[in-house]
Amino acid sequence: MAGRIAWALALLAGMGLSAQAATICEGRNLFETMPAEDAAAIEAATEGVPFRRGLVFDARRDDLRIVLVGTYHFDDPRHADTLDLVRPEWQGATALLVESGPEEQARLAAALAADPNLMVDATGPTLPERLSPEEWARLSSALSDRGIPAIMASRMRPWYLSMMLGLSPCMLRQAAESGGVVRGLDQLMMDEARARGLPVLSLEPWDTIFTLFENLSPEQELDMIRANLPSAMLADDYAVTLTDSYFQGDVWKIWELARHDAHAHSGLDSAVIDAQIALMQDRLMDRRNRAWITPLLEAANEAADQGGHVVAAFGALHLPGEAGVLNLLAAEGFAITRLDD
């Protein structure tokens, strides 16, 4: 989910989740325990969001067809139901499109191994020098829970650490103990495509993660950390809440929960929070969604020439919204039908 970047950063550090990690960790569903007025406010904020509900969709225009699957990037036994639902759609498919295919993943891993500076700022001021003592204490404590010593974190790039704050400490501990095996829906669908002899194509270059937060001011970088600190202590609860919402086909509520939580608990000015949320949506979702339309259309056209269609699987939070992939395809003249209702 656009959480995809937050969760995927664990992969960039060489970590992942196994089935054991996904099932042993416990937490609360925050929607079930929050005050009724807060739940109502979050629900109201999702009203009118295009294609808010659903995980599997059919998009058609003339002889072009794209089957779109919103994914959750970690293991869960409930993925079996989604795979069963999608299985008939492989008939006539000519390719699978994903955020990052096997070749791109290999290039990313090689780049990270060859150049530590991609994740570390070896020359600038350290984070203890840039943050207040209280902020650094909270950050270093939260990262210690995630297995990152303060001495290492002090020179890591702020965008990376802000994403790490969204990861469940329990899941990370279990991942380390289980060898870092990741079997999320993306990987399961890539396995299915390869078993069927279909090519797996990437929607974006391997180095996209490093370009998402270019040109941020030093203060914007630090505000990313500040905006994510409130949820860091509830990361296990967020993991449960996110997963439950995903399998209910209602992922936009997670985005609005993050917004609500930042306003309630970050201590930042409301204008700063709104700017941070807008920045994250623009960099993590909207820009990437718009960039994906061209490769989706190119693949669909090539498939149509062969009398077939394409399947696309990517983080579920990229599907809904004004600048979501579904709404962008609708603007291109595609008729959108939900398949998992």
Q: What's the CA gap between 292 and 47, in Å, rounded? A: 25
pLDDT digits (tens, 9 = 90+) for 195-249: 999 999 999 999 998 888 888 888 888 988 887 887 787 788 888 888 899 999 9
CA distances from 174 to 26, 134, 157 (A): 12, 29, 25
Q: 129: which residues sit within 8 A by CB, 6+ positions away?
A: none
> Would you say 34 and 256 are in contact if contact means Cβ atoms under 8 Å apart?
no
Residue 29: which domain range? 3-338
Helix, coil or strand: residue 305: helix
pTM greater than 0.85: yes
Which has the closest alpha carbon to 71: 7, 160, 12?
7
pLDDT digits (tens, 9 = 90+) for 27-54: 889 999 999 999 999 999 999 999 999 9
* Number of C-beta neighbours around residue 128 at 10 A: 17
Give the angle 152-1-333 at the CA atoms, nearest 5°.
Answer: 140
Q: State residue 309 phi and psi, 5-degree precision.
A: -140, 180
